[in-house]
Structure 1
Amino acid sequence: MGLFKSQKPRRFSHQYIYVDERKEKLDKIEEQAKRDLGMIPPKEFSPEDIRGKFIEGTKHLKRRKESNRKPLAFGTILMAIIVLLYILRYLVTGEWKF
């Protein structure tokens, strides 16, 4: 039966044709030497850089950031759940007493 045993498509494999690996390696060594000598400031890792890339990649996060609207606070959500549970209790038992 061909229904349960379908072939998987070939994986995409892109290999560069015009790449000078030696030049890239030399550029990397040169940059590292300049950083060691203090000619270029050291590379710093910043989590904000990564976080910004995710926001730029999605439309809804970008819109939320532009509107400066914050998501609901934990306390607000907790109070809403408690009120809904209280209403559910009233619907089940028919009493407003706690």
Structure 2
Amino acid sequence: MSLFSRRKPRGFNHRYIYYDERRERLRAIEERARRELGIEAPEEFRPEHLRGVFSGSTRHLRRAREREASGRPRMHVAVLVFLLIVLLALVRYIL
């Protein structure tokens, strides 16, 4: 058990039962021909367009992102409680 690293989940590889490779090859050939003739513009999927779309729709995720952007480091409540207990124990020991 490691304290500082988390295990990554196992990858998911879904294989289709009914899959027509011929149909996919024909579709790719048709797309390539359309692009070469200039009939259809190439469509590219860009994941960077989706960045922040879902986190902007919820209040708690929006607040968390704003906190990160402010540059203020967040301390966990448990750490603060632990430090308070250690400080109180130290003061009691000294007095």
TM-score over 0.5 for the alignment?
Answer: no
- Higher gyration radius (CA): 1
Compute the TM-score of the two structures, normalised by the length of structure 1.
Answer: 0.44
* TM-score, reference length from structure 2: 0.45
